[in-house]
Chains A and B, each alone.
Chain A
Amino acid sequence: MKNIQEAMDAVRILAVGGAGCSIVEKICDQPDWQDNLYALNLDARLLNRSLIAKKIQLGARLTRGLGSGGNVSLGSQAALESQEAILRTMQGAELVIQVCGLGGGTGSGVSPVVAQLAKEQGAFLVSIVTCPFLFEGEERTVLAKETLEELRLISDLVLCFDNNLMEQLIDEDGGVLKAFDHLNQALGAVILSIPQMLYSHGLLRIGMDDLRQLSSEPQTVCQVGTATVDDATQTEEILTQLKKTLLLSEKSLSAVRSCILSFEVGSEVKLSAIEASVNAFRQYLGNDASLKLGIKVGMQQSTALKILSFVSVKETTDQSMVADECDIPEIAPIINSPIPKKIESIAPIVEVNEIEIEEAEIEEVEECLLVEQVEELIESELEDSDELERQGTNPFSLVQSSMKQDESQDEEELEEISLSSMIDSKEDEGDHDHVRYGQRTESTHTLDRGKFSSTRRLIVDGQDLDLPPALRNI
């Protein structure tokens, strides 16, 4: 068994591009880590100014020290030119964490190459990426999304931080510098905590295998949140911090499929305090969510408690927010309001049913009840529609209906429709698992690729070309 120091030596943290560097710079002052930090950039000027000691200039011959100018292919060419240097940094690495901001030429161009190289070295690869703000332009958002898909196919774990959702972390009174500073600080903490969590011995261990398990769940995105309190009994405070840093709205909290909670506690912390916070957190999750726990004792402050939580969230809700992000005003209320509008309109019916409950109680319970009731309502509706469908004698009813829709639409739309209808139908079906033609839906991570299942993936523009066009994540 390696000791911790040796294990830590096998970690490499690569900061790719300007955004990556400024995030990693936040953890530069950690003496244990300085040797493992590398800055990768095309822009020599930025690189020289960076606080990170080990610097790799990419594509020195290609761009002669200039940046990529938003050109993705220039970025990847530069990375390929300097791949020897990148490989040298990864020698003997077991865990590679690459940090970058997507949407730019360097981030989107270089990071897939770095990911590929890291996987070739056999390292466990964690990609920590940030998605650009909406106001940076649609082009960057689309580019970021493409790269993200590509990274998800290669990496073991992708943690994506959407800048738009991070607005809730920002102190509104502070200046621009302070806002970015704050975000970077938060991300830096996450970066550091991953190897610390993976390599330190604990009472209940969390390892790479658990993380891989979490990230390999179909159709999910992985999110991470942290919370630190001085007094372990402050359950409320812990929860608020967690929910805030997880970047999830209430609705998507219930879409959490599985979750890993890693506790780092002081020696004085009681088990009951941990139990309380776990139970409190579990209440927010959906019923079918699985939860895994890691506990480690060893903080200086004896009553302090620190949680790092990874959750995998069903993608559909989150994806829809990202997909339609061209329209800012429409999305903003969804993120900000804890309960979607739909529920409010049904609320009166519920109140009639619950008339006996005292008003004071309702205030507290109402929200939870409402959510549950509405979910039940929706589920029953879905079941109805599913039953209708099953009654139809033609096994192709689904396909036909989607085909009919397309008559007035062009082909691309057709693909989207049939894809979405397939996914919907799968969700509707729930438990009944009868096979119908043309209805397989799993995410690209686990989707059966048929004859090509054992081969190297053929990825172009973030799409796995071995899959039928209609089954890809478009």
Chain B
Amino acid sequence: MAKAKIHVGLEIGTSTTRMVVGEVGNDGSITILGVGEVPSSGVLRGEIEDAATVIQNVFDAWELAQDNADVDIQTVFLSVTGEHICGENNQGTFRLPPDESIISQSHMNEVLEIARDISLTNDQFVLHRVPGLYSLDAQQNLTNPSGLTGRTLDIYCHIIHGVKSRITNSFRCVREVPLDISDVVFAPIAAAQFLLNRHAKQAGALLIDIGGGTTDYVLYVEGQLVSSGSIGLGGDHISNDIALMLNIPWEQAELLKKMQGDANGHRCKSGEVVRLKGTNGLPDVVVERSQLNEIIHARLSEILNMVKSRLPEDVFKRRFCKAVYLCGGTSLMRGLGDLALNTFGVAINMLSDVENSEVPSYIEDPRYCTTIGLIRYAQILEAELPAKKGLLGKVKSWVKRG
């Protein structure tokens, strides 16, 4: 009987540093044991700008998580993001030797090796290599062509890479705490493990994680990862836009955005006015609702359109992608669903609004998708690794060898 496993996910976000401790039960279910959460500073657009502050933040989150979950944390799964990270597809083609015509495992390994081998400059660091499905002489989408007859074997491999120095910065900050890193995961890949099940990936799904400083996306078509990337725009830009356009302090802009903002620019009465009471000596802010909404609408529709423009062109036209999943803190913005529907024209899936659920639940909060996804990622990774043998098993194998 296997023991329940505890995994820890750490996300150093632009607005919040989060550490989530989750227990993976024997049945595969995840229970959140505790969360350590502190507001971030020293992070801009998902990239670390001030190492000392970030280390302090991670340390605080770590202590909080240990207290809340009542466990010792030594290793974490780390998610990274930043607009320097991008994904590209690389095709590997292998032509069978003339005297062979049946595909064997070694041929499959060979072609995968070719597809994985992408020429990158020295400053790039490869985060993920996700192999897709094989195709054999233009017969596409074969999971396991072994034993089939054919001439040429192809495979696409999706490779996600980023600038080495910036990813190393994240490593360093975590190791200074000191914590060990089990694995490093591109943030939306982690979120996808949690939000998208196999059927969703098979049907075609686009996951957009709109955070504070970056917007990350992954696109699955027919179960394969075909596109991924990150845009250096997020919720902070909305607040900044409001602050700049209305000429008010950043803090008030942030409050206005959260309390009154609506991404649907036209959904308000004409002449309706929003008031925000000034605190700490700041003056009151009075602004027309249509203007506020228009600012938010302009920025968010820009973000969504930028994501759309980076995807393969015919994805939505030819119904390759059946649904869009939104997560991340900014996905809590009112009216984002309608805006996304207008932009993409497919079904929009969002986690329910936190304020409405009676019991606060991390699972239903879009802000926790990435960190919970990290735990799911750890779980999957563990399942793929050969199971560690218990004491009895070790003795058995020792006897066998002997």
Contact = CB atoms under 8 A, between A and B. Distances in A.
Given A440-B247, A458-B45, A396 B295 contact: no
Contact of A471 (B244, B246, B287, B290): B244
Contacts of A469: 241, 298-299, 302
Nearest to A394: B271
Interface in A404-420: 411, 414-415
B236 A458 contact: no
A470 B44 contact: no
A450 interface: yes
B219 interface: no
Interface in A154-203: none
B73 to A, nearest CB: 32
A255 B84 CA distance: 42
B4 interface: no
A438 B250 contact: no
Given A403-B290, A437-B287, A458-B233, A467 B244 contact: yes
B45 A471 contact: no
Contacts of B241: 468-469
Contact of A470 (B237, B245, B247, B306): B245
B240 interface: yes
B298 A438 contact: no
Given A438-B245, A440-B245, A465 B232 contact: yes
Most chain A CB inside 10 Å of its own CB: which residue of B44, B265, B294: B294
B295 A468 contact: yes
Given A440-B245, A468-B298, A470-B298, A450 B232 contact: no
Given A437-B287, A455-B44, A466-B237, A450 B298 contact: no
Nearest to B271: A400
Contacts of B237: 452, 465-466
Contacts of A452: 44, 237, 240
Most chain B CB inside 10 Å of its own CB: which residue of A414, A460, A471: A460
A448 to B, nearest CB: 7
B243 interface: yes
A323 to B, nearest CB: 21
Given A396-B288, A437-B287, A438-B291, A450 B247 contact: no
Contact of A458 (B232, B243, B247): B232
A452 B83 CA distance: 15
Nearest to B83: A458
A450 B291 contact: no
A356 B166 CA distance: 76
A369 interface: no
A437 B247 contact: yes
Interface in A437-452: 437-438, 440, 448-452
A195 to B, nearest CB: 33
What band does the interface of chain A fall in when counting residues whose beta carbon is under 8 Å from B?
A: 20 to 34
Contact of B244 (A415, A450, A460): A450
Nearest to B273: A396
Contacts of A403: 290-291, 294
Nearest to A450: B240
A334 interface: no
Contacts of B265: 411
Given A455-B44, A466-B237, A448 B302 contact: no
B240 A466 contact: yes
Interface in B42-68: 44-45, 49
B124 to A, nearest CB: 12
A111 B183 CA distance: 39
Nearest to B288: A396
A460 B240 CA distance: 18
Contacts, number: 73
Interface residues of B, number: 30
B250 A437 contact: no
A399 interface: yes
A426 B55 CA distance: 45
A435 interface: yes
Given A399-B291, A438-B291, A468 B247 contact: no
A396 B271 CA distance: 9
Interface in A53-71: none
Given A468-B299, A469-B298, A470-B245, A437 B291 contact: yes
Contacts of B298: 411, 415, 468-470
Contact of B246 (A438, A458, A460, A466): A438
B247 A465 contact: no
A340 to B, nearest CB: 34
A403 to B, nearest CB: 6
A217 to B, nearest CB: 21
A205 to B, nearest CB: 38
Contacts of B245: 437-438, 440, 468, 470-471
A468 B232 CA distance: 14
B88 to A, nearest CB: 13
Interface string B208-248: 00000000000000000000000011001101110111110
A413 to B, nearest CB: 13
Contacts of B239: 451
Interface string B285-329: 001101100110011011000100000000000000000000000
B223 to A, nearest CB: 30
B304 to A, nearest CB: 13
Given A399-B288, A468-B244, A470-B295, A450 B250 contact: yes
Most chain A CB inside 10 Å of its own CB: which residue of B245, B290, B306: B245
A470 B295 CA distance: 8
B84 to A, nearest CB: 11
Contacts of A411: 265, 298, 301
A451 B236 contact: yes
Interface in A83-134: none
Contacts of A399: 288, 291
Given A437-B246, A470-B298, A471-B245, A451 B240 contact: yes
Contacts of B233: 458, 465
Contacts of B250: 450-451
Contacts of B294: 403, 414
Contacts of B288: 396, 399-400
Contacts of B299: 468-469
Nearest to B44: A455
Nearest to B254: A451
A448 B244 contact: yes
Interface in A322-345: none
A468 B306 CA distance: 15
The 7 nearest A-B residue pairs measured at CB: A468-B241, A450-B240, A469-B298, A451-B240, A458-B232, A450-B244, A396-B288
Interface of A: 396, 399-400, 403, 411, 414-415, 435, 437-438, 440, 448-452, 455, 458, 460, 465-471
Interface of B: 44-45, 49, 83, 232-233, 236-237, 239-241, 243-247, 250, 265, 271, 287-288, 290-291, 294-295, 298-299, 301-302, 306
Given A438-B291, A458-B45, 10 more contacts: A403-B290, A411-B301, A437-B246, A440-B247, A450-B243, A458-B232, A465-B232, A468-B241, A468-B244, A468-B299
9 contacts: A400-B288, A403-B290, A411-B265, A437-B287, A438-B246, A448-B244, A450-B250, A451-B239, A468-B240
